Chains A and B, each alone.
Chain A
Amino acid sequence: MKNRICRKFLASALALTLVGSMLAGCGNKPAENVNNTESSTTEANTSTEEANTAQTDNASDKEEPAAPEADTSAEEVTLKIATWDATTIATTAPLIEAFEAAHPNIKVELIDIASADYTQKLTVMLNGGNDLDVVWIKDADTTPSIAARGQLEDLTPYIERDGIDLDAYNGVASRLNIGGKQVALPISTGFYLLYYNKDIFDEANVPYPSNDMTWAEFEELAAKVTSGEGNDKKYGALLHTWQACVQNWGVQDGEHTILDTDYTFFKPYYEMALRMQDAGTIMDFSTLKTGNIHYSSPFQQGQVAMMPMGTWFMATMISKINAGECSVNWGIATLPHADNLEAGYTVGSTTPLGINANSSNKEAAWEFIKFACGEEGAKIYSENGDIPAMKDDSILAVIAGLDGMPEGAAEALVTKNIALDRPLDEKSAEVNQMLGEEHSLIMIGELSIDDGLAEMAERSKEIQGK
């Protein structure tokens, strides 16, 4: 009898502890949050106090007085930096290594996220109040919306304090000035080039593409170097399935953008793409799309003679060749251009680097940005075959002189104007998605060019409320 009561008591006690621990488990999070807000409010208090004392000195010193700098060099700080594909992007590891070597007191913890999920995960992390310090923004056009949520620290005081020259960024830095706040600095500015396979040109006895070529000349050249049948076929060119690989040539002049509501400026390029597709001088869109074929494989397997692609592909080519996985004898030329443009007009995109407004190590985070977007970072980027945002002739010379780079790269890399493929605007992503949908309909021949462009215009107006 007694035993039974005992057992029952035990059982209920067990159940209670179970429930209790579960509730405690659920309760943990809010408790932590309370702690966080407490610490951040105390921080805010001290910083306003500091600001008050500093106010008398100098306006630019308001945010961060000189004193904390001494602190950071003494204190051990761990920076949390969000980035994507850190293991495959050739520049990330050397950059972090060099930064840690230059700042022995700062350790970097990379939060490596798969590139396809990056933008989405970053948004979730920032919205969740994550304590990331430095954010790498993969799709530059998402910058305004992140900034609008107040999640990016205004870098202006830091820039003024440390005397950073924004002119060195070839005009890209000013695009990241949103509502009078410099919310990020560009670390790299990639742009489109024309990659070509020298062997195919040699075989066909055709001169290599020049650095000053119109799109019409590109089309002609592609026809000249197309040869073979079936599996041995060499295509004159490859236009990847991204809408960018047709539509970008329409915005190359820097005057039209994808946020326009009349897309007739795409028409010549769609006509060209469809003509080339019918003539069999480029690979068929449906085949590329349904086969989910990455642009790098046909080029690296020597199946295509020319491919307009971003500068980021140079680093991939160098590493593939050095690893012995690819034997293509490649070259680069300036992107072809429209009749009414000069050579050197190209399209590109920038990768901004910003400080999370929620960061507790802002001073150290700024050190990282200053390093990565500054001369040291530019050197590391160029040494690894990527184009830093801060570039001049000496940087281009470094890139061109890299082991594995083709001859004449320095001339091919000269740009006159880099138009951003997606304007930094909140509607860019949605319009771009729509353009991608319509693009595939035109390319598979479900819609005529005129109908497709008209539908783009109509949907663009709907999205932008124009």
Chain B
Amino acid sequence: MQAKSKKQISLSRRNTLVGISFILPNFIGFFIFVLIPVIFSLALSVTEWDGFNAMKFVGFDNFVAIFKDRVFKGSIGKTAYFSIFTVFFSMCASLGLAVLLNQKLKGKAIFRCAIFFPYVASNVAVAVVWNFLFRDIGPINNFLRSIGIANPPGWTASTDWVIPALIIVNIWKNMGYFMIVYLAALQDIPSSLYEAAQIDGANSLQRFKSITLPMLTPSTFFVVMMLTINSFKVFDLVYLMTEGGPGTASTMMSQYIYNQAFISWSYGRSSAAAMVLFLIVAALTAFQFRMEKKWVSYM
């Protein structure tokens, strides 16, 4: 009886069921730990709630409140500043390193490991070490003084230099990972292209410009997108190194979200700020996908 009814299920339907059963575990996890919290946060952003008693619907009050808050308004600019420089320089650094370490070089495995290492290092350790390096009497400033710069920057103790300092650390930490992405892509470029170009008389710069760069555009697309998303969401590094200070000089959007939720205990304003961050990142990602056709070439 059972075997008969089983047989009646068509092949495609059975395949669908098998497929669903494969993605179900992941989807359930996503549903419980991502989707529900996101929807809940959306609800929080339009309510006033102390976390315990009944929620009170307040419409867009929370959004109005955060856009009146100078710290939040400032944090948008700071996040953009941090992100633009992080994305551009991380990309350049990782591409440069990938090209360098793709050549025949003695001990290149060691170099690759050394450059990848910061990516797997704990952020806490990274923050402690870099805070030490950035001190006024620390190694970096001592070096700058020794080469004749009388007033080296104050780094994390200066409102003007704190974000550049964070950008440097972030680039240093991320470039190894994106270097690996570029390395993999570089090795996928058929050597026949280079050989043909060489026969046609192209020099190495021309080969790089006309073969390597265009062939790498799919990876560049991936790298830029990941970097954009990650740098807009940056939290742990900033929190560990400066806690958003001095003053609010390095308070970026995630730090603001954290401060609102866990220092001021205002889940509503915190969620509203999170929604704004989400919209910004979503808009940027959508824009990048739109632009993809214009510059990314798939073989």
Q: Is A272 an interface residue (CB 8 A)?
A: no
Residues of B within 8 A of A292 (CB): 128, 131
Select the stretch in B91-99, B217-225, B245-253 that faces chain A.
B245-253
Bound CA–CA A150/B51 (angstroms): 11
Contact of B264 among A8, A433, A438 (CB under 8 A): A433
Given A286-B154, A290-B135, are A433 and B263 also a contact pair (CB < 8 Å)? yes
B75 to chain A: closest CB distance in Å? Answer: 12
Beta-carbon contacts of B39-74 to A below 8 Å, as 1s and 0s?
A: 000000000001111000000000000001110000
Q: Is A39 an interface residue (CB 8 A)?
A: no
Select the stretch in A68-76, A119-127, A173-181, A301-309 that faces chain B.
A119-127
Bound CA–CA A19/B246 (angstroms): 51
Q: Is B283 an interface residue (CB 8 A)?
A: no
A310 to chain B: closest CB distance in Å? Answer: 21
Q: Which of A61-79 contact B (CB under 8 A)?
A: none
**Complex contact A150–B128 (CB within 8 A):** no
Closest to A151 in B: B52
Select the stretch in A45-53, A95-103, A189-197, A439-447 that faces chain B.
A439-447
**Complex contact A444–B53 (CB within 8 A):** no
**Complex contact A444–B246 (CB within 8 A):** yes
Bound CA–CA A395/B140 (angstroms): 52
Q: Is A26 an interface residue (CB 8 A)?
A: yes
**Complex contact B264–A290 (CB within 8 A):** no
Q: Is B202 an interface residue (CB 8 A)?
A: no
Q: Is A149 an interface residue (CB 8 A)?
A: yes
**What is the number of residues of chain A that contact chain B, defined by CB distance less than 8 Å?**
37
Q: Is A289 an interface residue (CB 8 A)?
A: yes
A320 to chain B: closest CB distance in Å? Answer: 23
Q: Is A437 an interface residue (CB 8 A)?
A: yes
Q: Is B25 an interface residue (CB 8 A)?
A: yes
**Complex contact B265–A287 (CB within 8 A):** no
**Complex contact A290–B259 (CB within 8 A):** no
Given A127-B51, A429-B263, A437-B247, are A19 and B24 also a contact pair (CB < 8 Å)? yes
Contact of A120 among B24, B136, B262 (CB under 8 A): B262
**Complex contact B132–A430 (CB within 8 A):** no
Bound CA–CA A429/B262 (angstroms): 10
**What is the number of residues of chain B that contact chain A, defined by CB distance less than 8 Å?**
40
Contact of B245 among A15, A123, A430, A440 (CB under 8 A): A440
Bound CA–CA A438/B136 (angstroms): 21
**Complex contact B247–A440 (CB within 8 A):** yes
Given A150-B52, A440-B246, A446-B158, are A287 and B136 also a contact pair (CB < 8 Å)? yes
Contact of A22 among B25, B131, B132, B264 (CB under 8 A): B25
Given A148-B50, A290-B135, A440-B246, are A430 and B263 also a contact pair (CB < 8 Å)? yes
Q: Is B28 an interface residue (CB 8 A)?
A: yes
Q: Which of A8, A151, A290 has the most CB of B within 10 A?
A: A290
**Complex contact A444–B6 (CB within 8 A):** no
Bound CA–CA A284/B137 (angstroms): 12
Q: Which of A426-466 contact B (CB under 8 A)?
A: 429-430, 433, 437-438, 440-441, 444, 446-447, 459, 462
Q: Is A30 an interface residue (CB 8 A)?
A: no
B residues near A, CB below 8 A? 2-3, 6, 21, 24-25, 28, 32, 50-53, 68-70, 128, 131-132, 134-137, 154-159, 244-249, 259, 262-266
Interchain residue pairs with CB less than 8 A apart (13): A5-B6, A18-B25, A149-B53, A150-B52, A151-B52, A287-B137, A290-B155, A290-B157, A292-B131, A433-B259, A440-B245, A444-B157, A446-B249
Q: Top 7 closest A-B pairs, CB basis?
A: A286-B157, A441-B247, A149-B52, A127-B51, A430-B264, A440-B246, A437-B247
Assuming A5-B6, A26-B32, A289-B157, what are 13 further A-B pairs, CB within 8 angstroms? A123-B265, A127-B52, A149-B53, A287-B136, A289-B246, A291-B132, A292-B128, A429-B265, A437-B246, A437-B247, A441-B159, A446-B159, A462-B70
